[in-house]
Amino acid sequence: MKSAEYEVLIIGGGLVGASLACALGEQNLPTALIESVPIEAREQPGYDDRAIALAQGTQRIFNTMGLWKPLAPSVTPIHRIHVSDRGRFGFTRLDREEEGVEALGYVAPILDLGRVLAERMNRLPAVKVICPAQLKGFSQEEQSVEAEVESPEGDLNLSARLLVAADGARSGIRDQLNIPVTRWQYGQSAVITNITPQLPHRNIAYERFTDTGPLAVLPMTDRRCAVVWTVEDRQVEFVMSLDDDEFIARLEDRFGSRLGRLEKVGTRQAFPLQMLRAKEAVRHRLALIGNAAHTLHPIAGQGFNLGIRDVATLTEVIVDAVRQGLDPGEIGVLNRYADWRRSDHLRVVAFTDAIARLFSWQLLPVTLLRDTGMVGLDLLSPAKRLFARLTMGRAGRMPRLSRGMKP
């Protein structure tokens, strides 16, 4: 069995784990990343590229890390966000000019994000990517964490001062340590697909609340739009079984005619939705980041944006500790990360959950409340500004990477 020593061992090479490896590698901190899904098993680029909305704060972090330039050709800036309620009067608009920003956010294909992160990790001498490989077990010792990893080249024993769980919503590390979570299911799934509308999207993102659930239509490259349609679990099978023409007809009925007819639709995928928050973000020699720490309803497009702020904060805490000659896996150091992240986690979980619930109810008092709420939001600029700050990822005390400074 081979063995190796690192400063940080990251389990999970999704968008969040890979971003952390890039940030630490840039600081020359010996880092290993373990990912179980082989790179070549990931999808090929095409019409069906999945996309996510990146907040302006995320753009800034990527820019500081030197990752925005290679990503920029694939992203679509959002100039305006239009929020409306199907068949009702309430609507609100956020505008980049009103907010005084170049864009309210950006829509990026996940494959391109993954490619840019993988290329960077492979160029950083301090980062070792071990993929495909699977974490089999680990133990937290006094001075180190010892991990057993299974790979096609044989089993490996890896030692590090800190283990980072970036292993997603179903985190095996979180479960193994019995870290308590707050969790609830929505009884809803997100049906996602790409469409090509007749009219140009003009860089507008639409969030529309319909009787079957919220519907987001995000502008993408090549005249495409990414659709995230929330439907109740009991309707998922039906929606997935519709042929393309029937699906388009239902979508047009829910979305309206703002973009003209929908001319093309891609393959559909369905994701069951839940909200999850780990009650502890750190333990001795362990930190949780990304979906392992918090999994959100996608309605407000906040999941990765929250995760990248975990990355920026944890990087700063680790770098500061190492500079001061401290042990980055020591609980006193890690508590700084947990304390710093707590309010952002709670605020974004509460904000997303409130929106998900408010806009899924069809009871008359609730629809009236949200219609007047939306109109009110449109008129009340401090409330709107707060909404904008949250959706742009700018609320709260920001780590150096979010302020355009190297960690």
Q: Which positions lie near ligand FAD, rule CB under 6 A?
A: 11-17, 34-37, 52-53, 134-135, 166-169, 172, 190, 192, 228, 271, 290-291, 298, 301-305, 307
Neighbours of 379 (CB within 10 A): 10
In the complex, the smallest distance separating the C-beta of residue 169 from ligand FAD, rounded to whole angstroms, is 6
Nearest residue to ligand FAD on Cβ basis? 14
Yes or no: say if 9 and 147 are a contact pair by the CB < 8 Å rule: yes
In the complex, the smallest distance separating the C-beta of residue 61 from ligand FAD, rounded to whole angstroms, is 12
Cβ proximity to ligand FAD: between 354 and 380 the closer is 354
In the complex, the smallest distance separating the C-beta of residue 274 from ligand FAD, rounded to whole angstroms, is 10
Cβ proximity to ligand FAD: between 190 and 338 the closer is 190
Cβ proximity to ligand FAD: between 318 and 322 the closer is 318
Cβ proximity to ligand FAD: between 224 and 367 the closer is 224
In the complex, the smallest distance separating the C-beta of residue 197 from ligand FAD, rounded to whole angstroms, is 19
Cβ proximity to ligand FAD: between 294 and 384 the closer is 294
In the complex, the smallest distance separating the C-beta of residue 301 from ligand FAD, rounded to whole angstroms, is 3
CA distances to 13, 21, 85, 114, 131 from 118, in Å: 9, 10, 40, 6, 11
In the complex, the smallest distance separating the C-beta of residue 249 from ligand FAD, rounded to whole angstroms, is 22
Nearest-angstrom CA–CA distance, 358 and 362: 9
Cβ proximity to ligand FAD: between 190 and 265 the closer is 190
Cβ proximity to ligand FAD: between 190 and 388 the closer is 190
In the complex, the smallest distance separating the C-beta of residue 325 from ligand FAD, rounded to whole angstroms, is 31
